[in-house]
Amino acid sequence: MLYKYRILILVLIIFLGFGLRFYAASNLPANYDERINLIVAQEISFNPGAFSLPLVEKMPEGLIAERYLTRIGWYLFGNNLLGARLPSLICGVLIIPVIYIITVSILGAKIALLAAFLFSVSQYSIAQCSDINVHPFLILFSLLSISLFSRAMATNNALLLLSSGLLVSIGFLFKESSIFLLPIFIIYLLITPEYRFWLRKRYFWLFIAICFVFIIPSIYFNLRPEATRFSYIYNETAIAPSLNSAGLYLGELILIILKRFPVLFNYSAVSVDPQYPPGESMFLGVIILLAFFKSSKSSNNFIRLLWVCFVFNFILFCFLRRRDMIDSFLSLGSFLWGLLGLVPGMILASKMILDFMERKPFLGRTLFTVFAVFLIARAIDLVSYPLTCYFPFKDYCIENRHLNWEIRDFLEKGDLESAKDTLRRVYKVTDSKPLYKNKAALKLCEILKKEGKYTESREFASFLLSQDPENNFAVDLFRTGEDK
């Protein structure tokens, strides 16, 4: 029955993933990195009369490929924030059928559909695909490279192996961590006796060489010691014990525990990357880690490759963190470099879930139904709030990041439009939190009054009066004449 309607189910999963990502991309205010990206992307031009294709990264926060994606998005979808975001969004949605395609022939349609579903509602993936972001491209090219490498091993096909190397190289243009696939592949060959002979074949070393086709030019332009990007990575990275790896899968659970200790919770919340949720939703994260342990003894070579990919990234990022995060081993943020293990972890989790459902059909289906509803509800909740307002520190982010730090920063820089945009987002989604809604409305009224936009301020002044009819500031503002 499921196999008969597998394509229809896949289409529904794709539409679910697209709807969540598009809603978020349409409603989230621009973040810090995006504002930089939009400025730098203006220098790129495909027009014959003003041709400009810069190769050197002038701003350290992102790679040059990210700027080109922004420019391409403007050309294709319009010169606005949503247009700039759509390439990342489309790539993030495209990953869903790619997961299905590379999994279905090896592990079957049920596991492939489960893995596609987990990615479509993944809160971390939704956040990545809803702004200008290279990480969906890194995941896409890495998945394709892993798939071709696995098929090359199984079919003894040198052409597939070389194609896999080219995808590693292309992925490097989007995120340098693509190069980690090389040690992953080598470790996989070393622990897989039937494929170990590849290490002695010239095609494997040609594969290594092809991996560096785009890597060497990128290193020359952007990763020399005197380059801006190199200085950024060197100065921002610290080699020290870290919870980055665990944070990607258990970040929510860690913060929920810390919430019982407000001082420690607030101290740790500062370290969470402000642009993304604190890892995956806790139940999915726990299941991925359990699946990792369960699959450690699998004899399936594709599962073994996914396992090596996961464990390599997990161990590596247990010892890397950002210097500008809190000086603590409880650094939950900046686990973006460890994403190569995320989708392999979801595929491993899908296999474990299906195995359980087949062993205990009624209990397994019941638990999975509850789990699926939870993931969908969490995804909907995530896209309904402003950027950075993520469970379990939603209140902390709204009050501290949005209403205090971020707005103060915007006002100090004279960026009134960004301040108003962020405040409108907070005002829109805090019906159940009147204290925050009241603060957002008050700050909006203050800004709009200074701009002389009295008509626009009346909606927010009316809300203030509904909360406090004696609010003289709101009364005066509401009675003021038309805009100047």
- Return the domain boundaries, the chain: 6-383, 394-479
Range list of H helices, 270-300: 282-294
Whether residue 54 contacts residue 66, with contact meaning beta carbons closer than 8 Å, is answered with: no
> Across all residues in the chain, what is the average pLDDT?
86
Residue 439 vs residue 401, higher pLDDT? 439
Give the chain's end-to-end CA distance (angstroms, integer). Answer: 66
Residue 234 has pLDDT above 60, yes or no: yes
Which pLDDT band, with edges at 50, 70 and 90, does 330 fall under? low
Range list of H helices, 259-341: 262-269, 282-294, 301-316
Give the model confidence (pLDDT) of 161-183 as tens digits: 999 999 999 998 888 889 999 99
Give the model confidence (pLDDT) of 376-417 as tens digits: 999 999 998 876 788 888 888 888 888 888 888 888 888 888
Which pLDDT band, with edges at 50, 70 and 90, does 133 fall under? confident
Within 10 Å of residue 261's Cβ, how many Cβ atoms?
11
pLDDT at 81: 86
pLDDT at 484: 47
C-alpha 88/C-alpha 433 separation (Å) is: 32
Residue 279 has pLDDT above 90, yes or no: no
pLDDT at 181: 95
pLDDT at 139: 93
C-alpha 117/C-alpha 317 separation (Å) is: 26
* Long-range CB contacts (within 8 A, 24+) of 364-372: 371/283, 372/117
Buried b (16+ CB within 10 A) or exposed e, 441-468: bbbbbebbbeeebbeebbebbebbbeee
Residue 329 vs residue 72, higher pLDDT? 72
What is the average per-residue pLDDT within 343-369?
A: 95
C-alpha 484/C-alpha 152 separation (Å) is: 69
DSSP strand E in 306-453: where?
320-322
Residue 84 has pLDDT above 50, yes or no: yes
Range scoring the smallest mean pLDDT among 127-141, 341-355, 455-469: 455-469
C-alpha angle with apex 254: 262 to 383, nearest 5 degrees?
95
Whether residue 445 contacts residue 468, with contact meaning beta carbons closer than 8 Å, is answered with: no
User: CA 204: distance to chain centroid?
Assistant: 32
What is the average per-residue pLDDT within 102-114?
A: 94
pLDDT at 141: 94
C-alpha 371/C-alpha 365 separation (Å) is: 10
pLDDT at 294: 94
Which pLDDT band, with edges at 50, 70 and 90, does 474 fall under? confident
Percent of the chain with pLDDT strictly greater than 70: 91
Which pLDDT band, with edges at 50, 70 and 90, does 59 fall under? low
Residue 117 vs residue 269, higher pLDDT? 117
Whether residue 127 contacts residue 323, with contact meaning beta carbons closer than 8 Å, is answered with: no
Strand partners, 238: 321
Q: Into which CATH architecture does domain 394-479 fall?
A: Alpha Horseshoe (1.25)
Q: How far is CA 63 from CA 70, 320, 389, in A?
A: 12, 20, 26
